[in-house]
């Protein structure tokens, strides 16, 4: 009889970060992050192969270290935090290196592939078992209805369409 016992892991927000990077006027990169998020994993074993990953971030918690820009990002030009308060991701497959899943931003769901480094499992000083992952990928913001655009007088696009995602996540075995 196959062991169907699954292990649940919950994200440890104190030791995790969700960031994004986008080119500004094509000459510099603006970084942002979400300070409020949650995530969980349902795994068959400690390799996490074929585990189910779920994740969501609160749009209102977005920060680019610029209040006006953050307010603009929360508006209907971009995320429309009022109508669509969360960004979500749910995995469909994970082979230990690539994770394919459905990302939902606003009311648009698209398949996204992330590169994932599994950094291993360790026990902390409180006896909790932790697992660490780093996931990276890129999306086109316009695929998700984040369509706002502007061009400078010199003809530079203000915000590039490509957004890089970087998630450093630590999970606690439940």
Q: What is the pLDDT of residues 49-101, one digit of tens each?
A: 989 999 999 999 999 999 999 999 999 999 999 999 999 999 999 999 999 99
Range 7-173: architecture per CATH: Beta Barrel (2.40)
Radius of gyration (C-alpha) of the chain in whole angstroms:
18
For 164, counting Cβ atoms within 10 Å of its Cβ (0-12 exposed, 13-18 middle, 19+ buried), the class is middle
The yes-or-no verdict on residue 22 having pLDDT over 80 is yes
Going along the chain, which residue ranges are E strands?
7-11, 17-24, 28-34, 37-43, 52-58, 62-63, 86-94, 98-105, 108-123, 129-140, 159-173
SS3 36: coil
State the pLDDT at residue 3. 56
State the pLDDT at residue 2. 54
State the pLDDT at residue 16. 97
Domain boundaries, the chain: 7-173
Maximum Cα–Cα distance for the chain, whole Å?
69
Which residues fall within 8 angstroms of residue 18, CB to CB, at 6 or more apart? 33, 34, 37, 57, 165, 166, 167, 169
The yes-or-no verdict on residue 25 having pLDDT over 90 is no
pTM over cut 0.85: yes
């Amino acid at each position: 009889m196959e062991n169907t016992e699954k292990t649940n892991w919950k994200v440890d927000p104190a030791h995790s970060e969700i960031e994004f990077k986008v080119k500004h006027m094509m000459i510099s990169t603006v970084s942002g992050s979400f300070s409020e998020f949650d995530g969980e994993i349902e795994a068959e074993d400690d390799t996490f192969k074929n585990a189910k990953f779920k994740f969501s971030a609160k749009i209102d918690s977005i920060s680019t270290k610029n209040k006006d820009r953050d307010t603009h990002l929360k508006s209907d030009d971009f995320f429309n935090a009022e109508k669509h308060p969360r960004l979500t991701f749910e995995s469909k497959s994970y082979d230990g290196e690539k994770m394919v899943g459905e990302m939902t931003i606003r009311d648009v769901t698209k398949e996204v592939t992330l590169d994932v480094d599994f950094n291993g499992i360790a026990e902390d000083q409180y006896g909790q078992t932790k697992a660490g992952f780093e996931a990276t990928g890129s999306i086109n913001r316009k695929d998700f209805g984040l369509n706002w655009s502007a061009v400078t007088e010199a003809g530079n696009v203000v915000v590039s369409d490509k957004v890089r995602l970087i998630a450093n996540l630590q999970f606690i075995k439940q």
